[in-house]
Amino acid sequence: MKTKNLRTAIAVGIFVVLAAGLIFGVSFGTLSGFGWDDFSVLCPLGALGTMIATKTMIPRAVVSLVAMILFFVVLGRAFCAWACPVGVFDRIRAFFRSPKKRKEIEQAKHDEMLAISRQELEARGVAVKNAEHADAQCTHSCKTCGGCQPFKHGKLDSRHAVLGGALLSTAIFGFPVFCLVCPVGLTFATVLVVWRLFSAGDMTWSVILIPAFLIVELVLLRKWCTRFCPLAGLMNLFSRFSKTWVPTIDDSKCLETAKESACGRCAMACEADINIRHPEFGERTMADCTRCRACIDACPTKAISMPFLVRAGHKVTLADAEQDVLEGIQGAERRAEAAFSPLDKAGE
Amino acid sequence: MTEQKDTDVKQVASTPSEKRAHEPMSVSRRSLFIGVGSTAALLGLGALRYVGHTPVNRPPGGQDEAALVSACIRCERCYEACPRKIIVPATIEDGLLGMRSPQLDFSANYCDFCREENGGVPLCTQVCPTNALQLPADAVLGNPETGERGNVIIGIAKIDEYSCLAFRDTGCRACYDACKYDAIRLEGTDTNPRVYVEADKCNGCGACESVCKSLSAGSIVSGATHRAIIVEPVEAE
């Protein structure tokens, strides 16, 4: 919970500073093109779009693109959790939901993730022990839900299709098409047009249409970040190679592996629709980790950590860990021993 | 009936291996739908290029309209960089294609090509990260100190004789006094001269428009929506 507040504070802080710069003319740029004087870091999608559209190499765009790619490889989609205003909108929306609705949503996710955990434990022939959750059942029929079924993770998903469409349109029509509707750009544009409405009396339909666009994208297109955002798609292409600060489960502490009791709290907490314990059941994979630390905060046994480097041979996919579960008690013993080995500690 | 159906489903899919067996078609279908829908929408947006938009006065370096539209990513850096705060986002009324791209607003100030603030190098072109605002290699900027017109023409001032106070015998010559390039000519030697624009001397800096009083001081023209002298983009000519 702490990290969540910190993240909100940082994202809001960045937005307020940049928006104030926009209003008072302090040149920091916006998230689409951050910088001062001659220095600037461009949005990677904007950089790509402007170069495709003008068919020229723009030095500042190339430098930005390379810098951003390095960032994605090191920190994954951290921008999404720590800086993007869209995440703040989602939290504002959640805040204004009625307590009943909020509880309903939470309960549904809780039940679904718990059911997945139970199912996976049972699948491995483990009798689920914890009585606490024994009564937890999906309230809806399995046929209508599909939640307890694994996702088919291809190399590309719907966001890459949006990305491809955006770049295709840019190449055909010769201008950065997505920039017209980018929610990050529209957010800063809203600040500007609203400020101009009050300071200069600039009456224009933009004052209504720009926020309307934003609302359509973020409210009507459900799960914008997971299913639509081409910027997230672009990040995913590089963040999938990230081996740094990737959340990793210590199986000797995890309730599901150590105590064989269904938990699923990390999956309930994940804001990027990843199921870190059972990756095949998450809509997205670890490639989309935003380093938001929600799973770390949610874990009741503090089993999840973000080591600087993922240990060699201990891949983020938990396939080997789950293999251990299949092997049953022996695996658990082996892990318990491993927990005390200095190698393991060095990894943390 | 429904209950029985539900239990049937549960029985059929009770073992997880069987559950795994049927792929959630809805997910891939949704992906396809999103992909096709978004691509169609983005191609539709792209087609706006052919719709075009109303020409607007661009900041220095933005005179090549096609190049500006191609390169501008609406990052808003030029708005911030402008020391006179005259660069503003183009509005939806000027067309969806140009919305949020930079245009000049001469209602309170004008462009001196940053002669005073940056020694004659426009800050907007200096900060533009995508070269959407880029002066041609042979660009000569207007110099309000020497009165040299230069070859970067933002637009050409145009007088609406119907609403202009000078044409109503008020003796107003605010635009003539403001112009640094001798682009406004007084005609008639009496106390109430008329004002005319010398188009071949004007570079569209907007000084005249920024001081025009026709909308604020005693205008008797009702229904006037803009000042009597405004800079019009060259393309509109």
Residues of chain B contacting A162 with CB distance shorter than 8 Å: 34-35, 38-39, 42
Domain with CATH 3.30.70.20 in chain B: 153-237
Contact yes or no for A27 and B131 at CB 8 A = no
Minimum-distance CB partner of A33 among B9, B73, B131:
B73
Contact yes or no for B93 and A175 at CB 8 A = no
pTM of the model as a whole: 0.83
* Structure confidence by residue, pLDDT tens digits, B150-199: 999 999 999 999 888 898 888 889 999 999 999 999 988 778 899 999 99
Contact yes or no for B129 and A174 at CB 8 A = no
Residue B148 pairs in a beta bridge with B143
* Structure confidence by residue, pLDDT tens digits, B54-63: 999 999 999 9
Which residues does A257 contact at the CB level (< 8 Å), separation at least 6?
A: A249, A251, A321, A324, A325, A332, A335
The nearest CA of chain B is from the CA of A345 a distance in Å of 35
Structure tokens, A215: 């609302």
> By the CB < 8 Å criterion, does B95 face chain A?
no
The nearest CA of chain B is from the CA of A336 a distance in Å of 28
For the segment A201-216, the average pLDDT, to the nearest whole number, is 90
The class (CATH top level) of B51-143 is alpha beta
The nearest CA of chain B is from the CA of A21 a distance in Å of 7
Minimum-distance CB partner of B77 among A40, A164, A165:
A40
C-alpha dist (Å) from residue A170 to A16, A32, A57, B72, B102: 31, 17, 15, 12, 20
Closest CA to B70 of A221, A177, A78: A177
Contact yes or no for B38 and A189 at CB 8 A = no
What's the pLDDT band for A24 if we cut at 50, 70, 90? confident
Minimum-distance CB partner of B9 among A142, A149, A209:
A142
Minimum-distance CB partner of B76 among A22, A173, A196:
A22
Contact yes or no for B42 and A169 at CB 8 A = yes
Whether ipTM > 0.85 holds is no
Contact yes or no for B89 and A192 at CB 8 A = yes
The class (CATH top level) of B153-237 is alpha beta
3-state class (DSSP) for residue A17: helix
Secondary structure string (H, E, C) spanning chain B:
CHHHHHHHHHHHCCCHHHHHHCCCHHHHHHHHHHHHHHHHHHHHHHCHHHHCCCCCCCCCCCCCHHHHHHHCCCCCHHHHHCCCCCEEECCHHHCCCCCCCEEECCCCCCCCCCHHHHCCCCHHHHHCCCCCCCCCCCCCCCECCCCECCCCCCEEEEECCCCCHHHHCCCCCHHHHHCCCCCEEEECCCCCCEEEECCCCCCCCCHHHHHCCCCCCCCCCCCCCCCCEEEEEHHHC
Closest CA to B56 of B208, B176, B232: B232
Give the residue from chain A lying closest to B32, CA to CA.
A158
Contact yes or no for B43 and A168 at CB 8 A = yes
Contact yes or no for A50 and B132 at CB 8 A = yes
> By the CB < 8 Å criterion, does A227 face chain B?
yes
* Structure confidence by residue, pLDDT tens digits, A282-341: 999 999 999 999 999 999 999 999 998 876 545 444 444 455 544 554 444 555 555 444
Closest CA to B75 of A77, A203, A40: A40
